[in-house]
Chains A and B, each alone.
Chain A
């Protein structure tokens, strides 16, 4: 149960040096680029770009190996299930049909379906390195201040900061309560009957939630006593002003976004790029 929040550690790479605001904006632009396209050329480029960023940020692969394994299993599962649920969906969205072979019944494998499914997998795949880079290289305190600078209300940013600050405390509380209840013989595993299991869940949840509620009172009173929330605006200790590299990074992301969008709007003129027309 040892877990470090975002496993953030301070390194001296090009990406770590960027301001949190830049990284948040780039992260959002990248997400929108990927959401708005279903073009395999753009997706391949995005995947390559994301992997390059991942390499630059020097995140050790060991740290994400386990998650990466889960993701691959999930993607494989999704690939197969999507085919079983709607084997002709690719044909439907692309409008052409080139069969490879038939499994019998409606399960005819087409090039279009294969292409559609690979695009979808690619879409998932290029989100992951981008997310890793963002969450592993951003200081949690700076994250809250960046949110405020893109226009999220200061109160909500404080909430986010509080969540990240108190996550380790709450998880320590949970471990203690869980161990204490186990020592008293309270079992939540399959060995107990379902009704009993739910009762045991309550025996764990009740002290956890009531201790959290007490803590809410204590923190809220402390904040009120220090005059929190008297004014609408606040300043941030951990905010870093934008520098030359920040503007460069933003420019790169915006250029990628604009190119991808203009390919969709002016070149392919549709959400899907169909390489099978004219086969």
Chain B
């Protein structure tokens, strides 16, 4: 685990623009899923990718700010439990930041496995625990009902997070200049 700065000006800007991207993707991008009349939410894949590049604080804030604003724009008021869920996904998958060094162009298959494990874990904590518990506290709803909603969200979000964030990380690492890529002739 390498020592890395936690919140620089670049992290701050990355978080701000990441959250803007989160809002745009949530509001405009509708990809039909194999199940009729449902859409795949590709937002969390992008959130996890920003987490890998900028760290857990950035990932969490992207979820928090992005989800709060996109909910307010679409519904008039945020559903706080699900906002907290989005933040958790960002924080947990952002932990990858400490295990890998994507800025110098390195992203191996092992890194991809770590990223997948962490993003499934993050999604599980968010949609099977945080979001249903929050909904239960806020609206005193039966646990079965909120848990069923969480389970559906977990199923689709975990898969898209893994697939998209890994693809994006591979693509991004190729655009970075590798350390020691120059040879003496």
Residues of A that sit less than 8 Å from B by CB: 1, 3, 5-6, 31, 35, 38, 64, 67, 70-71, 81-82, 85-86, 89, 93, 120, 123-124, 127-132, 135, 155-156, 158-167, 169-171, 174, 188-190, 194, 197-198, 201-202, 204-206, 208-210, 212-213, 215-217, 219-220, 223-224, 228-229, 271-272
Contacts and interface: CB of A to CB of B under 8 A. Distances in A.
A160 B144 contact: no
Please list the 5 inter-chain residue pairs (A to B) with the smallest Cβ-Cβ separation, ordered nearest first. A162-B16, A131-B77, A86-B142, A85-B145, A220-B10
B177 interface: no
A57 to B, nearest CB: 13
Tier of interface size on chain B: 35 or more
Interface in B105-131: none
A215 B175 CA distance: 15
A85 B144 contact: yes
Tell me what chain A mostly uses at the interface: helix, strand, loop, or mixed. Answer: helix
Given A82-B142, A129-B76, A224-B9, 11 more contacts: A71-B76, A120-B139, A131-B77, A159-B12, A159-B16, A160-B65, A166-B17, A188-B31, A208-B21, A209-B46, A223-B9
A171 B77 contact: no
A174 B24 CA distance: 8
Interface of B: 7-10, 12-21, 23-25, 27-29, 31-32, 34, 42, 46, 49, 53, 61, 65-66, 69, 72-78, 80, 138-142, 144-145, 148, 163-164, 167-168, 171-172, 175
Nearest to A229: B9
B141 A158 contact: no
Nearest to A156: B61
Tell me what chain B mostly uses at the interface: helix, strand, loop, or mixed. Answer: helix
A268 to B, nearest CB: 14
A271 B141 CA distance: 13
A217 B9 CA distance: 10
Nearest to A189: B32
19 contacts: A3-B27, A5-B73, A67-B74, A67-B75, A120-B139, A128-B75, A155-B12, A162-B15, A163-B16, A163-B65, A163-B66, A201-B31, A202-B167, A204-B29, A209-B46, A220-B13, A224-B9, A229-B8, A229-B12
B13 A216 contact: yes
Contacts of B78: 131
A59 to B, nearest CB: 10
Contact of B168 (A71, A163, A205, A223): A205
Contact of B17 (A35, A38, A124, A215): A215
A145 B15 CA distance: 18
Contacts of B25: 174
A206 B21 CA distance: 12
Given A82-B142, A205-B168, A159 B28 contact: no
B112 to A, nearest CB: 15
Given A89-B142, A198-B163, A1 B28 contact: yes
B13 to A, nearest CB: 4
A201 B42 contact: yes
A220 B12 CA distance: 8
B47 to A, nearest CB: 11
B12 A171 contact: no
